[in-house]
Amino acid sequence: MAQKDTTPPPGAALRPPRVFKLVLLGSGSVGKSSLALRYVKNDFKSILPTVGCAFFTKVVHMEAASLKFEIWDTAGQEKYHSVCHLYLRGANAALLVYDITSKDSFVRAQSWLKDLESEFLPGEVVVMLLGNKTDLNKEREVTFEEGKEFAESKKLLFMETSARLNHQVTEAFSAVARELLQREETVGPTQKENARVALNEGPPRQVRCCAH
């Protein structure tokens, strides 16, 4: 498997940022697409010139380095759950999204976590639990504490957001980015020699330009 270039060689300024694949998981209509749309285009379900919003890219500039997110939206309907593990291949991060007004979606998020656990080694992928729709606080079924407790027990990042009000959305993605970069530094290049993810990533510098 390719070695991760943690120490950029001379001429690094020219090279494009490291690409991280982030998968959005969660039941239908919890706001996965809206979150991504809000984050990437700062928009909420308005008519856009882009055709689809299932695949996004965004370059993030952090203090230390910059990285490029490749955001993969997934179909959340229950019936597609069985095939969705295919999306997880080669992912670097996952956002487990649930709707704070639906207990059911919270339970589903937990079952998604099980899928992730079976697909990846612990620590291989950055997972964030995300309670969306805080603008509907009155109809809340899952308390902040419940979410936080679960996230802590599983060592996940946790936040509550509102894609509609653009509350905490960028912060959530940034937290994931920070965690990714941090792990990259501490874990180093040796960790990823896992046969199960042989096709995981191409060499890190082979960055694909987004068509849009």
The whole-angstrom separation of Cα 75 and Cα 98 is 14
The whole-angstrom separation of Cα 115 and Cα 203 is 26
Kindly state whether residue 133 participates in binding other proteins, applying the rule CB under 8 A. no
Report the amino acid identity of residue 38.
R
Write out the binding residues for other proteins, residues 4-23 only, by CB under 8 A.
14-16, 19, 21
Residues forming a β-bridge with 159? 130
* Count of alpha carbons within 13 angstroms of residue 135, beta-carbon side: 11
Kindly state whether residue 209 participates in binding other proteins, applying the rule CB under 8 A. yes
Kindly state whether residue 194 participates in binding other proteins, applying the rule CB under 8 A. no
Tell which one of 6, 8, 42, 50 touches other proteins (CB under 8 A).
Answer: 50
Q: How far is the CB of 119 from other proteins (least distance, A)?
A: 13
Kindly state whether residue 132 participates in binding other proteins, applying the rule CB under 8 A. no
Kindly state whether residue 80 participates in binding other proteins, applying the rule CB under 8 A. yes
What element of type H or E holds 184?
A: helix 169-187
Kindly state whether residue 73 participates in binding other proteins, applying the rule CB under 8 A. yes
Kindly state whether residue 32 participates in binding other proteins, applying the rule CB under 8 A. yes
Kindly state whether residue 124 participates in binding other proteins, applying the rule CB under 8 A. no
Q: Output phi, psi for 39, to 5 deg.
A: -70, -45
